[in-house]
Amino acid sequence: MVVLYLISMSDNSVISVRDLCVERDTILLQNISWTVKPREHWVVMGPNGCGKTSLFGAITGYLAPTSGTITVLGQEYGRYDWRELRKKIGIVSSALINLMEHGQNALEVVAGGKHAMLTAWQLSNRDLLNAEVLMNRLGLLHLAQRPWMRLSQGEKQQILIARALMSDPAVLLLDEPCTGLDPVARLRFLDFLFGLIHDIDAPSVIMATHHVEEIYSGFSHILLLREGQVVAFGPLEQCLTSLCLSRTFGVEVEILRQNGTGSSIMEMFRLHVKGS
């Protein structure tokens, strides 16, 4: 497999992965080396089973490496308390939706992110006030008093992002956040995400997705995976190409560029499978 490394590896990083291998009954990740620097926003893309979720699991300390190293803000897993390192990484996954206590409102769900709590019974007034300030900054204050169970799927994803930001993480991982959203909800969610990554106080955002049309302006870099290995990584304009995506998905494809239809969509991409 041809691998294109289009950015330099540097110790000045938010996340640094070196020669990472993860094996269980099979090889999940093989020889992954990758660096995320401050203020970079990344897309991680590849077909089903390519290793996106395994990579996120390793970065958050839930999936132990077989070999290789992972550092977060210069601190290496295994040489530093992984529970402390995990606090520096916010993660949003659709799996979290079903873990929230149904009786909470959106404000309480966000506030619980400060202490990684799933229930509201130990929240202080300061926690709730800080959550309110954050929701106002993100344009979500109108949802604050709405019961969790009355939120739409897209609204729940936005609230989970706010919840992850309560701990002031250095990086925010979004594991296929648009899964299960209808087309309108997906556009609204991506508009929200567009605003987040242009916020000067936002952490580095890393989003795993299958879909090129979810890559909005503001994402600066992309990591392409296939069968647990890196195909290419680097600046978006250099790696989001027909050649790289053809290698990633194992079929000849073409990237089509078109003007966006909304104020927050600077450029949209569509994937065309040749011969179809």
Kindly report the backbone phi and psi dihedral angles of residue 32, in degrees, each rounded to the nearest multiple of 5, phi listed first. Answer: -85, 125
* The pLDDT of residue 168 is above 60: yes
* The pLDDT of residue 72 is above 60: yes
Paired strand residues for 174: 92, 207
Identify the CA nearest to 53 among candidates 90, 25, 28. Answer: 28
Identify the CA nearest to 251 among candidates 269, 229, 271, 237. Answer: 271
Per residue in 18-49, pLDDT tens? 999 999 989 999 999 999 999 899 999 999 88
CA distances from 88 to 84, 128, 136, 182, 250 (A): 7, 21, 22, 31, 35
pLDDT (0 to 100) of residue 82: 74
pLDDT (0 to 100) of residue 203: 92
Q: What percent of the chain has pLDDT over 70?
A: 87
As a whole number of Å, the CA-based R_g of the chain is 19
Give the E-state strand segments of the chain in sequence order.
Answer: 4-5, 15-23, 27-36, 42-45, 67-72, 75-76, 89-93, 171-175, 204-209, 221-226, 229-235, 253-258, 268-273
Structural contact between residues 15 and 72, judged by C-beta atoms closer than 8 angstroms: yes
Neighbours of 109 (CB within 10 A): 27
Q: Write down the mean pLDDT value for the chain.
A: 85
Per residue in 105-136, pLDDT tens? 999 999 988 877 667 667 889 999 999 999 99
Model confidence band, residue 263 (pLDDT cutoffs 50, 70, 90):
very low
Threshold 0.95, pTM exceeds? no
The label of the residue with tokens 């300390």 reads: 61
